[in-house]
Amino acid sequence: MNTILSPLYIAVSWIIVQFHAFYSLIFDEDSGWAWGLSIVSLVVVIRICLIPLFVRQIKATRNMQALQPQMKKIQERYKNDRQRQSEEMMKLYRETGTNPLASCLPILAQSPFFIALFQTLSHISNDKTVGVLTQSQVDSARQATIFGAPIASRFMDGADKLAELGASLGTVRTVTIVMIVLMSASQFFTQRQLMTKNVDLSVKSPFMNQQKMLMYIFPLMFAVFGVNFPVGVLIYWLTTNVWSMGQQLYVIQRNPTPGSLAYKQRQERLRKKGIGVEQPAATDAGKAAEAAKTARVQPKRQTKAQRQSGTGQQPKKQAQPGQRPGTSGQQNRQAQQSQNGGQARQNAQGPRGQQSKKQQAKKAPSGKSKPSSSNSKK
């Protein structure tokens, strides 16, 4: 594991060393301020690099909200066929260009750096070099304290281990408990801010229920695992939670989700300033879902009796050239055959048939007959 993550150890330790060299110009190089601010600066660098992933996370979250009605229909339609349900879900994701895992990208991308920092501080606690840290820098970091707690100390460390770091058990546990509570509270507040202000509450979906569960699960997880985190890691995670809170608040204020409480509040602010109210724009996933819905028109199901009798609704076909509207194809074929048969008989009779027709026309009595001789005499 250490061999696989050794490049990350080098990267994390190098960034910390560079910032420590800068803050040593302002503070004592062995102070907690110099090393603590170096960890905070590490968080800032990582979060700046993760801004594109954060933007993708926002888009993915909104697209998932827009797709909830279609996803619910698929679940109800194929509730007895899990495989077909999964296939239709993946097809919907492809057609709308939605990645359900994109909302987890920032956390997943931070995980390697989090592990690297955790291992770096563990090496410092055990008085071992790691990455680009020299032995003198490790000794300096071991002496650095935050409110009396060494940055490499943990809540679960015993009194003997803390005595080696020059700290007392009560001080370390007090500081770590306060930082764990702040870390869990900031995580809960960030998630609650998203759920109460930047979610369209008019759409009830399983996605909202999952987000509500995560709102309580994540803080509890960090509270449980936080007792094993060094103070430096608690500083890292508290800083990244504060960054997420501020970044999310900025997005909610500037570009809220249409239909959410934050969106209505922004519309009200625009009204007071005399600016025209914006119309809620449909998301890309919503547009793609509507396009896919219109493109995939499936024929209606018919009963067996309708299929046998032919009374089921059939798609209307365009009339062929020469076909009368409102007549069936069989009637038009019969009319065409009779017309062709009459033409064939005329051709078979030839000139004689045409002459006989002319003679019959001459012999036919006209409408005005000449008066008879008897009538003229009278």
Give buried/exposed letters for 252-266 (b at 16+ CB in 10 A, else e): beeebbbebbbbeeb
Condensed to tens digits (0 to 9), the pLDDT of residues 122-148 reads 888 788 888 898 999 988 998 899 999
Comparing 328 with 264, the larger pLDDT belongs to 264
Q: Is residue 313 classed as helix, strand or coil in its secondary structure?
A: coil
Residue 373 confidence (pLDDT) above 50: no
User: Length of the chain in residues, anyone?
Assistant: 378
**Beta strand extents in 127-264 (DSSP E only):** 145-146, 149-150
Condensed to tens digits (0 to 9), the pLDDT of residues 164-178 reads 888 889 999 999 999
Q: In this predicted structure, what is the pLDDT of residue 298?
A: 52
The values of phi and psi at residue 66, to 5°, are -70, -25
Q: How far apart are CA 336 and CA 295, in angstroms?
A: 38
Angle at CA of residue 115, ends 113 and 116, nearest 5°: 60
Residue 280 confidence (pLDDT) above 70: no
N-term to C-term CA, the chain: 138
Q: How far are the Cα atoms of 47, 61, 98, 106, 260 from residue 256, in angstroms, in the given order?
A: 21, 12, 19, 19, 7
| Token pair of 173 as six digits | 């546990």
Find all residues with CB under 8 Å of 267, minimum gap 6, and list them. Answer: 277, 278
Q: In this predicted structure, what is the pLDDT of residue 15?
A: 92
Residue 30, H or E segment: none
Q: In this predicted structure, what is the pLDDT of residue 87?
A: 86
Confidence of residue 319 (pLDDT cuts 50, 70, 90): very low
The answer to whether 236 and 43 have CB atoms below 8 angstroms apart is yes
Ranges 10-19, 184-193, 195-204, 288-297: which has the least confidence: 288-297
What's the burial of 192, exposed, middle or buried (CB within 10 Å: 0-12/13-18/19+)? middle
Q: Is residue 145 classed as helix, strand or coil in its secondary structure?
A: strand
Helix axes 231-254, 261-272, angle to 10 degrees: 50
Confidence of residue 378 (pLDDT cuts 50, 70, 90): very low
Whole-model pTM: value is: 0.64
Q: How far apart are CA 244 and CA 170, in angstroms?
A: 31
Ramachandran bin of 146, using left for φ above 0, alpha for ψ from -120 to 50, beta for the remaining angles: beta
Q: How far apart are CA 331 and CA 70, in angstroms?
A: 45
Angle at CA of residue 18, ends 13 and 19, nearest 5°: 100
The answer to whether 26 and 134 have CB atoms below 8 angstroms apart is no
Confidence of residue 41 (pLDDT cuts 50, 70, 90): very high
Residue with tokens 């939605």: 98
Q: In this predicted structure, what is the pLDDT of residue 178?
A: 94
Going by the DSSP 8-state scheme, the letter that residue 166 receives in this structure is T
Q: How far apart are CA 314 and CA 317, in angstroms?
A: 9
Q: Is residue 150 classed as helix, strand or coil in its secondary structure?
A: strand
Residue 202 confidence (pLDDT) above 70: no
The amino acid that residue 292 corresponds to is A
